Structure 1
């Protein structure tokens, strides 16, 4: 390297840690949420690599069990988007809360900045379970002191034009809406991970 030329900072490493909604279920690889999010962030001047750590069918317990593997990717920041499958299966919400709390605290212990992406319960689970489920995500974010985005599928859920035939998984166009809506929260996350702004143009 030439004397006097500053070293180029490495791109920030942002982990998208979730289930099929993150993995890009039934979509072309370039249409998955992490790929579309990285493109949108780069368009806005952020030098960032978004890593796809989505596993279709994963629950909060499954995510918790693979923390060592995802931390080996040495992320600077993470979007935790787990819990939808806990709700679909009607799992014990005390366990969901415990798992999410443990996941967030583990990332924080490694100095990884965290954004919790909330989910809302489908209406067929009943009002009581639904209200309890919906409360888990803001509670975990508040208790652990991390950023919170209320609903990962904001603007997409229940819109047939933006979902695949199963009514649960977004189309490529649906993912684009998800990315557009979550972008301000992700930019706030990146500012916390990179307070000097070294990764922005």
Structure 2
């Protein structure tokens, strides 16, 4: 009898722990990832498609997440026609993100710290062009939506074109190393 009670308690505890953990898949067709890059003479912005993603919750508290971004969809939204085609092609080339060799980028959460109601500080590992570096950013969750904004230093990922970190005397041709990513997620 004692063994039966112990087994029942362990089964209940396992069921309860499992029921409290939940992985929510991101709806990639309803989510958006926007980038904005800056140069001495202005800026450009555009989108990149999220290939897959999930957020992990325990007792309705965010505890993890993982995303794969389809770099082949990298495109500008502030230009049109031949200028858009030229910029999009250049961003996809080896001068920038080398999407033929590196078709995806990934973000894996390593630590999530609640900072307020529905707000979290996320530490994670971002991989671009086969190079992985730590990132920290704020993420907010509201019902079945989440949003986050982070700054990425492209020099850490060997994205060299127009970077003063790699080249001297660029003057007004300098493209700043930091670019912004803003994610609006539906799950």
Higher helix share: 1
Higher strand share: 2
